[in-house]
Amino acid sequence: MENVRVLEIKEDIASRNNEQAKSIRAELKEKKICFLNIMSSPGSGKTTLIVNLVNRLKDRYRIGVIEADIDSAVDAYTVAEKTGVKTIQIHTGGACHLTCQMSYDSLCALGVDDLDLVILENIGNLVCPAEFDTGATANLVILSVPEGDDKPLKYPLMFEVASAVAVTKKDVLPAFDFSIESAEKNVRMRKPDAPVFFVSAATGEGMDGLVSYVEGEIAKVAD
């Protein structure tokens, strides 16, 4: 005889990822390691910015970099070659974002116990990475000048989860219809308290402010 009954599950599907993210953050804070998750659309200059940041910080801090992509290892080779710091490349195998498990496995593969700062270059995508907490202690969101100052309006969640925003490629500003005031206003609409930095990794303009911000984040977890 067949019996039909209802089983209550009542499980929030994000809960497992969120719980894991919390425990990663707690472990990193205990070990005094800053974990910076960098997110943006493809081609906004994440890798170039990371190379520049690492080279300005590596004399004072021990740094490791995790490069995440769907395929290839070009970014990891670029970062390793131009900075000399410990770098690994991970592949999501088609997935458009990193889950917390992938992030945890990457931290283990990199080996973080001897580091002060771990930088994660997330998959270039303004949608899905915002929905999955990686366990990072801070989220730096990048918006590049050629993308347009209206991106925070189109991708609200990405800018809502930002701890700070870096507007990159400032050196090409004259060639694009991009307003610094509008960009700042649009970011503020999503995240009123996030600091916004206007930088050019190519010329070095504005990088000092961003470097100070990252140092502040390192100091926060080292307290």
Instruction: Fill in the per-residue mask, 131 to 160: x = in contact with other proteins (CB under 8 A), - = not in contact.
Output: x------------------------xx---
Measured distance CA(194)–CA(162) in Å, rounded:
7
- 126, 131, 137, 142 alpha-carbon torsion, rounded to 10°: 10
Q: Is 40 helix (H, G, I), strand (E, B) or coil?
A: coil
Check binding of 70 to other proteins (CB under 8 A).
no
Nearer to other proteins (CB atom), residue 117 or residue 196: 196
The candidate with the shortest Cα–Cα distance to 197, out of 186, 210, 187, 185, is 210
Nearer to other proteins (CB atom), residue 3 or residue 223: 3
Question: What one-character-per-residue DSSP string does 142-197 give?
Answer: EEEGGG-TTHHHHSHHHHHS-SEEEEE-GGGGGGS---HHHHHHHHHHH-TT--EE
Within 6-35, which residues bind other proteins (CB under 8 A)? 6-14
Measured distance CA(58)–CA(53) in Å, rounded:
8
Within 160-189, which residues bind other proteins (CB under 8 A)? 189
| Binding residue count for other proteins, defined by CB under 8 A | 25
With CB under 8 A as the contact rule, the residue among 113, 181, 192, 223 that binds other proteins is 192
Nearest distance from residue 120's CB to other proteins, in Å?
Answer: 19
Within 77-106, which residues bind other proteins (CB under 8 A)? 95-97
CB 116 within 8 A of CB 215: no
Nearest distance from residue 67's CB to other proteins, in Å?
Answer: 21
Positions in the binding site for other proteins (CB under 8 A): 1-14, 95-97, 127-128, 131, 156-157, 189-190, 192
